[in-house]
C-alpha cells in the first residue's frame, strides 16, 4: 500500500464553521506534512510532524490547527477561515530517519476547500 488517502475530496464551509480534514497512510512513515496550494501556484509547506510531534509550523495562522493522533493519521482542524483560505490542501508522508537527506514524499490527491 503506497497510498496517502485524504478525505473529504471537496469541502465547502462558511466563515463561522468548524471542519476537519483527514489524512491517512499505512506505509509506516513517521513524518507527515500539510501543504496549501493556490491555483497555478506551487504547494506551500504549512506543518510537519515527525514521530507524532509537531516539528515545523511555517507561521500558519491559528485558525488552522494540526493534529497527529497516531503515526498513521494526520488531521487539520479548520475554524473561522477566510475566503482567501480557499485552496487545495495536500497531505504527504515520508519515511523519516535521522540524518537522511534522500527522502521522497508521497502525496495524497488533496482536499479542495472553498470558504464562503
Assess contact for 65 and 49: CB atoms under 8 A: no
- For β-strands 111-115 and 10-13, DSSP reports them as parallel
Residue 1 CB: number of other CB atoms within 10 A?
Answer: 8
Q: Of 45 and 80, which CB lies nearer to other proteins in the complex structure?
A: 45
Q: Is 21 in the site for other proteins (CB under 8 A)?
A: no
Site string for other proteins, 27-66 (x = CB under 8 A): ----x-x--------xxxx--x-x----xx----------
Joined grid coordinates for residue 76: 487539520
Q: In the 8-state DSSP scheme, what is residue 109?
A: -
Q: Is 100 in the site for other proteins (CB under 8 A)?
A: yes
Which residues would be at the binding site for other proteins (CB under 8 A)?
4, 31, 33, 42-45, 48, 50, 55-56, 90, 92, 94, 96, 99-110
Amino acid at each position: 500500500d503506497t497510498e496517502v488517502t485524504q478525505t473529504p475530496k471537496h469541502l465547502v464551509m462558511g466563515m463561522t464553521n468548524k471542519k476537519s480534514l483527514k489524512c491517512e497512510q499505512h506505509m509506516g512513515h513517521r513524518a507527515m506534512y500539510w501543504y496549501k496550494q493556490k491555483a497555478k501556484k506551487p504547494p506551500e509547506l504549512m506543518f510537519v510532524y515527525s514521530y507524532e510531534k509537531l516539528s515545523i509550523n511555517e507561521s500558519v495562522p491559528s485558525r488552522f490547527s494540526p493534529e497527529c493522533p497516531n503515526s498513521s493519521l494526520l488531521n487539520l482542524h479548520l475554524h473561522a477561515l477566510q475566503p482567501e483560505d480557499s485552496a487545495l490542501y495536500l497531505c504527504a508522508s515520508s519515511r523519516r530517519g535521522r540524518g537522511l537527506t534522500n527522502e521522497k514524499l508521497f502525496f495524497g490527491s488533496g482536499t479542495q476547500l472553498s470558504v464562503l
